[in-house]
Amino acid sequence: MKALVVEGGAMRGIFASGVLDGFMEYDYRPFDLAIGVSAGSSNLIGYLADQPKRSVQVITQIATDKQFFNPARFLRGGDLIDVKWLIEESNRRFPVDTDTLFSGIPMLAAATNIATGKADYYRLNPDNLNKVVEASCALPIAYKSTPCFSGGCYTDGGVADSIPVKEAYRRGAREITVILSHPLSYVMPKTRSPWIMKKLFARYPQVAEAMVKRAENYNASLDFIRNPPEDTTVNVIAPPENFAVKRLTMKQPLLKQGYEMGVEAGREYVTNSHLQPIDLTTALGASAALGA
């Protein structure tokens, strides 16, 4: 079984949006399963719905809006980021082709269960789409709401499982393609002051513990990628070392540059698979319909 895993990383997700648009230029969809985390789940929706440029438009036009990212609101006690507004506004301006989304490759999104501190993996369907994506993207502290559904309450999936390659393996994938948000040289540093996390998340001790262990779990996923089991192949697409987009980058030139890096990486990955590009009039037409 072949799986596609897409990491989150907030605005760093601009790279994955480009990679997936590069895939769509070639109609490259050899996967049996897709798993997204946080921004990675949002990016996967555009890809699996076959809507080129949707994800990059969401990031550059909506995620940079003050209604979504508002430090002044945060200082007054509100949300730094308004995830629910982002989802609703994205759906209003760039409606998802749900028929296509739910008729092809099955997609899972990871969200961190606040009661257990572990990741739950939900398969997206028409009834849970918005709730699951909101939960997967609900950055702790920055987004004060706690999405609840199916008997659980959740925070950002990246807290418990930023790169769910082991979950893909557990579900039977033996060829895994991973789109990362950091260059390959990146290693997540350990939390310097665990007591701060425990104080910030005093109401949710299991989430606090997950935050303390996040670097350990993240680096363990990187180790799995670099040293997969003998029966498994892991293919990695990562930003170059000069990738300048950070978690909260809002500057359009940097976002555009990061997106183009992703597109080129996606094209290169596919052409190494000896595929030929499809007629781009279909993709361009879809982009125009989305307001590109």
- Over the stretch 42-52, which tens digit does the pLDDT of each residue have? 999 999 999 99
Tell me if residue 156 falls in helix, strand or coil. Answer: strand
Q: Is 42 a catalytic residue?
A: no
Beta bridge partners of 193: none
**pLDDT reading at 289 higher than 60:** no
pLDDT tens by residue, 222-259: 999 999 999 999 999 999 999 999 999 999 999 999 99
Q: Is 156 a catalytic residue?
A: yes
Residue 200 sits in a domain of what CATH number? 3.40.1090
HEC string for 62-94: HCCCCCCECHHHHHCCCCCECHHHHHHHHHHHC
pLDDT tens by residue, 167-183: 999 999 999 999 999 99
Is the CB of residue 37 less than 8 Å from the CB of residue 163?
A: yes
Our count of domains for the chain comes to: 1
**pLDDT reading at 290 higher than 80:** no
Domain that holds residue 245: 2-285
21 within domain boundaries: yes
The amino acid sitting at 265 is A
Q: What are the distances in angstroms from CA 12 to CA 60, 132, 242, 259?
A: 11, 20, 13, 9
Beta bridge partners of 236: 178
Q: How far is the first Cα of the chain from the last one, in angstroms, to the nearest whole number?
A: 35
273 within domain boundaries: yes
Q: Give the pair of three-digit tokens for residue 92.
A: 């209003």
Q: Considering the candidates 17, 21, 38, 42, report the single residue annotated as catalytic.
A: 38
291 within domain boundaries: no
Q: Which of 134-148, 184-198, 200-214 has the highest mean pLDDT?
A: 134-148
What pLDDT, on the 0 to 100 scale, is given for residue 194?
80
Q: What are the distances in angstroms from CA 268 to CA 38, 43, 237, 263?
A: 25, 19, 10, 9
pTM for the whole thing?
0.90
What pLDDT, on the 0 to 100 scale, is given for residue 284?
32
Q: Considering the candidates 21, 97, 156, 161, report the single residue annotated as catalytic.
A: 156
Tell me if residue 39 falls in helix, strand or coil. Answer: helix
Q: What are the distances in angstroms from CA 51 to CA 54, 104, 286?
A: 6, 13, 6
Burial label for 66, CB within 10 Å (0-12, 13-18, 19+), is exposed
The amino acid sitting at 69 is F
Beta strands in 45-202 (DSSP E): 107-113, 119-123, 148-149, 152-156, 175-179
What is the percent of the chain where pLDDT is above 70? 93
290 within domain boundaries: no
